[in-house]
Structure 1
Amino acid sequence: MSGIQRFHPAFLVVELVSFVKGIFFVYFFLFVLKAQSTSGWVVWGRYILIAWSVWAIVNIFLKWRFHGYEVTERTIVLHEGVLVKTRRTAGLDRVHNQTSNTTFVHKWFGLTSLKLETGTSGDHGEIEFPVITQEEKERILSLIGLQQQENGSREGDEFFEAETVRTMRFQSKKKDLIRASFTSLSFLAIFPLLSAAYSNLAVFFNLEDGAEGAWDYLVLHWWMLIILFVIALLISSVIGYVRVYLKYGKFTISDDHDKIYIEKGVANVTHFSIPKRNVQAVVVEQSILKRLLGLASVKLISAGSSELESEETSSLYPFLPKHEAYRIIQDMLPHYEIQEEMRRFPRHVLWAKLLRPYYVIALSIAGFLIFKPTFLWVSAILFMVSIILRVLDYTFTSYIRHGDLIQIRSGALTTETFVTHKRRIQQATVTHSWLQRRFGIATLSFTNRADPTHVSELYGVSREEAGEFYDWYRQKSASS
């Protein structure tokens, strides 16, 4: 198709709603909570906010009027800028991943959004269509598939879903959503909201005296306090479940020979796909609560995608039972086999960790001595917390090399198990400080392709193990 295409007029509504969502609480604070305030910063804040809002609305219209795109058989050309025009071109064969997100505003108009990731670092690594019809989306994806097929790639299979046989690996059920609601602690969200609402209302309606009388009454009639607490907890649980359902409802994980597909959401529907050959590493995270419940969150680090922006989309269901998560990974990515038994570090590594400098503690002591000597005891508490965290980090840190894989686990309150293939490591470095040399240990670090580059570190490996790893890594060219 030739000629510049402008985005659908619904672009104005989508961008305006997004702006209002981002600015709503600032308006609420300045014009509602601070409605009676005549402070200079509040008054000027209102003027600046109104001026900024007017400019943002005008800018939304200008972007819709002057931005556009062209899609040819081989390239996508984006026309951007209002005062300074820019023209950005990307080859269809450079597209690695695609994400489609349909918010409730998109649903009003029967539209969706499309984001294509090309693998280029920086701001120009993504091609985004904020508002697009389903038909136009399918047309673009079909052109990408045809172009990639011409280049000898199988990535076109993703875009011809009728010809692709997918295997369903996971589909969220009611019990999964209840478990997610409990694990995320979203059922407790109502209590800080009630506290904030009471504090704000008390300012306007002088509720303090009445509240003290009501509290004295409830203390005398404690059974009513229990009933009110249970009712509030039930309401909060329902609200928490609804929030989780809207975010993780209809969550599915599937795959075919070449791709992994993730679909999720009820209010905002997200479709994400990633080529298996682009997976650089697998990360399994467990918080304290998840470890107690035997749950885990699995993320895929992919070449050609932003680690920060795709945190949600490239994550498998974040409340999977650990062994089920391992099974799904093994089924979809047979080359990434996660081992349960790993090697722990000897005791002298713990002493090396404990003797490392405590820079934050030193700064806190200096700060308290200068500004608030009476609070110097806080530094002692921080010092004890730092020691506990280092002991926990030593306790949970372990590693193993098996075949062409290396697997490391680290963390104190939240543990992270990182698994990558020798061929996916871009660079390996072995360093050792003066303190480490005294203990005969070193720090092993290696990088994987991502945006930004993902760096993994393992503190405390012996010099012999560091040398063996370096020799193992150098053999990757021969083994690949």
Structure 2
Amino acid sequence: MKETNRHHPLQIVYDLGVIIKNTFFIIVILFVFQAGSDSPFVKYGRIAFFILLAGTIIYLVFRWYTHKYTLTQTAFVLTEGVFSKKRKTVPYSKVQHVKRKTNLFHRIFRVTSITFETSSQGDDSSVKFDVVTPAEAGRLEKQVYQQTSIDQEIDSVSQDAEEATQQEEEAPADAVVHFSPTKKEVIKASFTSLSFLAIIPLVGSQFNKLDDLLPDDVQGEGVLSFILERWWLITLAVLALIILLMIGGAIWTFLKYGKYEIASDSEKVYITKGILEETAFSITKKNVQAIQIQQSFMKRILGLAEVKLVCAGALGDDNTDEVNSLYPFLPVAKAHQLVEEILPSYKLTDTMQRLPREAFWLRMLTPSWFWLIATAVLYFWKPDLFGLSDYWWAISIILLVLVIMSRILNFKNSRYTIHDTFIQLRTGGFGTSLFLSKRSRVIEVEVSRNIVQKKLGLASLSTVNRANPVLHTNMNDVPQEWAEAFFAWYKGRNQEVELK
């Protein structure tokens, strides 16, 4: 048994900051909005707040004093609890991924955080150190990898904090860098992500403040009405809004995706990103269960795609979709190229089969419950939008057109194929999602047929892959013969997987 360690003393400050952040709304009400109030409710509310804050600080100090961790040769041993002790052991062999995150708090105090995601569920799904020195984070990671042999050997950890900080943000020296976005690609990404729309509420909130700056006759008329009645002001307002959206979106995207880098070695994929809040994440290749290439409607227009790695084990509670994404705004050709470079054991193919014509008529003639319910709501509610309450039926027609267009696009976009030991499925209407997995990684399949599908010789299939949460992939209305061939193909999995 090695030396037992307490967490970093700054853990107390970090936890207190989280609590203050979660109660920020209450603080604003008691001490800002009601700053001059003599109400007994506000007065005693402030007293209760300070009592609870003092009690919380005492509790956090005791929790820091009692929470400890030990690194044995094979596992983390965590001692937790203030009033009742709890001890749990998490073997290194269960560790699937490692994530380091450095936000503004960590930068100020020259520390970092590190999380070891495991294949377990519940309380043992991860071992998280919210505040550690970079040197200690490196020691923890080194201990895990040395004992489990799931990664290459990590260089000896320097005791110099600055050098350790640089190491945590970079992939190993022998890793190959596959992608780092250019400035042009970051700007393009700002439009695709629609992040610039976040500035619209901010602009709208300032309209009332503009009243004080305008003449009295304009104030009575209202800023918005004053602008809408003058075409030249409309033009200037639109141009100003577009410029603000472009600048705001570009800044937001740069702060979030700046310094983005995708690298890999023989064992792992390394993803680093962020300017103000830096995140470094590594994915063990052998834990990749499937690949998803997704395109939203806007991304399809611009020829971009997002590659996601479906992994066994947890990927963290925060921003899981972002963690396992290689990069949300890759050119389609580059996305396919990255898959082949980073995961050479996975093979994509452009040759896929279309759905039969029977599937088209089945989809077009199936009632749309969404449209029927929406039409009923519009009929009884008759929303008064821009004074057009008598034209509720026009909204219903627009929804119906969108439903029909979505079904037509879904039929045209849907593809399926089996090649060697891989299954590849693509679905979606305005946006699409392509699924690729090895037969050995699919843990469950199902083929089903309803009454109508039986008449038309069609079937639906679904696959299940290990992930958190479990990934279910469905493909509807494939030919019955292909579904039977798919089932027979899957039986060959028994020759590829050893049952322990």
Q: Normalising by the residue count of structure 1, what TM-score does the alignment of the two structures yield? A: 0.85
2:356 matched residue in structure 1: 346
Q: Aligned equivalents of 2:137 and 2:480: distance in 1?
A: 54
Structure 1 residues 197 and 181, CA gap change in structure 2 (3 angstroms): same
One-letter code aligned to 2:429: A
- 1:442-473 per-position Cα deviation (integer Å, ceiling 9, x unaligned): 11111111112111110011110011001111
Question: Which is further off, 377-386 or 332-341?
Answer: 377-386
> SS of 1:349's equivalent?
helix
1:416 matched residue in structure 2: 433
Give the conservation status (yes or no) of the 8 Å contact 1:342–1:398.
yes
Give the conservation status (yes or no) of the 8 Å contact 1:281–1:418.
yes
- 1:263-318 per-position Cα deviation (integer Å, ceiling 9, x unaligned): 11111111111111111111111111111111111110011234875311111111
Q: Aligned equivalents of 2:441 and 2:251: distance in 1?
A: 40
One-letter code aligned to 1:155: D
Correspondence for 1:303 among 284, 302, 312: 312
Give the conservation status (yes or no) of the 8 Å contact 1:121–1:452.
no
One-letter code aligned to 2:144: I
One-letter code aligned to 1:76: F
Give the conservation status (yes or no) of the 8 Å contact 2:34–2:42.
no
Tell me the CA shift for residue 181 of structure 1.
1.2
> SS of 1:139's equivalent?
helix
Tell me the CA shift for residue 15 of structure 1.
3.1
Q: Does 1:256 align with 2:273?
A: no
Q: Aligned equivalents of 2:452 and 2:295: distance in 1?
A: 31
Question: Which is further off, 220-229 or 94-103?
Answer: 220-229
Tell me the CA shift for residue 397 of structure 1.
1.1
- 1:157-190 per-position Cα deviation (integer Å, ceiling 9, x unaligned): 4677898621110112212211111211223322
Q: Aligned equivalents of 2:432 and 2:354: distance in 1?
A: 14
2:151 matched residue in structure 1: 155
> SS of 1:172's equivalent?
coil
Structure 1 residues 366 and 208, CA gap change in structure 2 (3 angstroms): farther
Alignment of 1:159-238 (within 5 A): 165-198=174-207, 210=219, 212=221, 214=223, 218=227, 222-238=231-247
> SS of 2:313's equivalent?
coil
Structure 1 residues 202 and 69, CA gap change in structure 2 (3 angstroms): farther
1:327 matched residue in structure 2: 337
Tell me the CA shift for residue 106 of structure 1.
0.3
Structure 1 residues 178 and 36, CA gap change in structure 2 (3 angstroms): farther
Q: Aligned equivalents of 2:253 and 2:128: distance in 1?
A: 27
One-letter code aligned to 1:113: S
Structure 1 residues 431 and 26, CA gap change in structure 2 (3 angstroms): farther
Question: Which is further off, 114-123 or 466-475?
Answer: 114-123
Q: Does 1:12 align with 2:22?
A: no
The unaligned stretches of length 5 or more in structure 1 are: none
Q: Aligned equivalents of 2:56 and 2:365: distance in 1?
A: 52
Tell me the CA shift for residue 212 of structure 1.
2.7
- 1:24-78 per-position Cα deviation (integer Å, ceiling 9, x unaligned): 46766898789999xxxx989x889959984766665554344332222221022
Q: Does 1:442 align with 2:436?
A: no
Structure 1 residues 223 and 358, CA gap change in structure 2 (3 angstroms): closer
Give the conservation status (yes or no) of the 8 Å contact 2:97–2:315.
no
2:89 matched residue in structure 1: 89
Alignment of 1:311-460 (within 5 A): 311-356=321-366, 358-361=368-371, 363=373, 377=393, 382-460=399-477
Question: Which is further off, 82-91 or 438-447?
Answer: 82-91
Structure 1 residues 416 and 280, CA gap change in structure 2 (3 angstroms): same
Structure 1 residues 365 and 184, CA gap change in structure 2 (3 angstroms): closer
Q: Does 1:471 align with 2:488?
A: yes
Q: Aligned equivalents of 1:48 and 1:427: distance in 2?
A: 58
Give the conservation status (yes or no) of the 8 Å contact 2:97–2:117.
yes
Q: Normalising by the residue count of structure 2, what TM-score does the alignment of the two structures yield? A: 0.82
Correspondence for 1:270 among 259, 279, 287: 279
Q: Does 1:69 align with 2:86?
A: no
> SS of 1:315's equivalent?
coil
Q: In angstroms, what is the RMSD of aligned CA positions?
A: 3.8
The unaligned stretches of length 5 or more in structure 2 are: 157-166, 384-388
> SS of 1:120's equivalent?
coil
Q: Does 1:284 align with 2:280?
A: no
Give the conservation status (yes or no) of the 8 Å contact 2:207–2:223.
no
Structure 1 residues 363 and 3, CA gap change in structure 2 (3 angstroms): farther
Structure 1 residues 21 and 398, CA gap change in structure 2 (3 angstroms): farther
Structure 1 residues 367 and 171, CA gap change in structure 2 (3 angstroms): closer
> SS of 2:322's equivalent?
coil
Tell me the CA shift for residue 97 of structure 1.
0.7
Question: Which is further off, 272-281 or 298-307?
Answer: 298-307
One-letter code aligned to 1:328: L
Q: Aligned equivalents of 1:123 and 1:440: distance in 2?
A: 47
Structure 1 residues 479 and 88, CA gap change in structure 2 (3 angstroms): closer
One-letter code aligned to 1:399: Y
Structure 1 residues 258 and 392, CA gap change in structure 2 (3 angstroms): same
One-letter code aligned to 1:340: D
Give the conservation status (yes or no) of the 8 Å contact 1:97–1:118.
yes
Give the conservation status (yes or no) of the 8 Å contact 2:218–2:226.
no
Give the conservation status (yes or no) of the 8 Å contact 2:211–2:222.
no
Structure 1 residues 241 and 418, CA gap change in structure 2 (3 angstroms): same
Tell me the CA shift for residue 240 of structure 1.
1.8
